[in-house]
Chains A and B, each alone.
Chain A
Amino acid sequence: GQNIDQPTEMTATEGAIVQINCTYQTSGFNGLFWYQQHAGEAPTFLSYNVLDGLEEKGRFSSFLSRSKGYSYLLLKELQMKDSASYLCAVRDSETDSWGKLQFGAGTQVVVTP
């Protein structure tokens, strides 16, 4: 099985930076995804990491360390619309079910004026 741990909630000010950490314990690993989910809406894809290092996409960056079982999502220049739940998900390499993602419970980010 797998354990995906991330903080429950984080609060930050508009314009600031927030880093959401995710740790995982898996018997296999074939990629880590970050999704954003606004209340009542579909999760939307933010990033995919399979190799160690930093992936940057505009205001969002994601980092992976496979040896440490650790990832973070960095949100820069926070905007009010960034208030949402951020989901960390790991794909298990021990299965042919490439659509099987193990999700953490999500981190609720609250952006204040």
Chain B
Amino acid sequence: ETGVTQSPTHLIKTRGQQVTLRCSSQSGHNTVSWYQQALGQGPQFIFQYYREEENGRGNFPPRFSGLQFPNYSSELNVNALELDDSALYLCASSIGTGNDGYTFGSGTRLTVV
């Protein structure tokens, strides 16, 4: 079985620009969650998608948005980038409630300059 894959692995953007990050969930997993991890910190929950609908959101502004596709892959979009958006963005997938654990991708390292 394949794991969770994210693209790109690294990205540099300028303040004010927009960015789209992509995630392919593990085979058979129907739930995708996105996290932001600043250096030296634990991941912070952004939002979750289930059956192509946003199903819960953390404390992030509306310029963070997402999509989930019929094949359960997902995108994270961030508009009007700010310097503080520089972080590792992690995608995690699970089957339903995830009691067997959430599988994380290796993340996209976003640097905003």
Contact = CB atoms under 8 A, between A and B. Distances in A.
**For this complex, into which size category does the number of interface residues on chain B fall?**
20 to 34
A99 interface: yes
Contacts of B31: 98-99
A68 B16 CA distance: 46
Contacts, number: 75
Contacts of A41: 106
Interface string A1-42: 000100000000000000000000000000101010000111
Contacts of A89: 42
B4 A42 contact: yes
Interface residues of A, number: 26
Q: Chain A interface mostly helix, strand, loop or mixed?
A: loop
A43 B55 contact: no
A40 B105 CA distance: 11
B56 to A, nearest CB: 2
Contact of A103 (B32, B43, B106): B43
B62 interface: no
B94 A103 contact: no
A77 B83 CA distance: 42
A87 B104 contact: no
B104 A99 contact: no
Contacts of B28: none
B111 interface: no
Given A31-B99, A48-B99, A95-B56, A100 B104 contact: no
B40 to A, nearest CB: 7
Given A97-B55, A99-B33, A48 B101 contact: yes
Contacts of B42: 4, 87, 89, 103-106
Interface of A: 4, 31, 33, 35, 40-45, 48, 50, 87, 89, 95-106
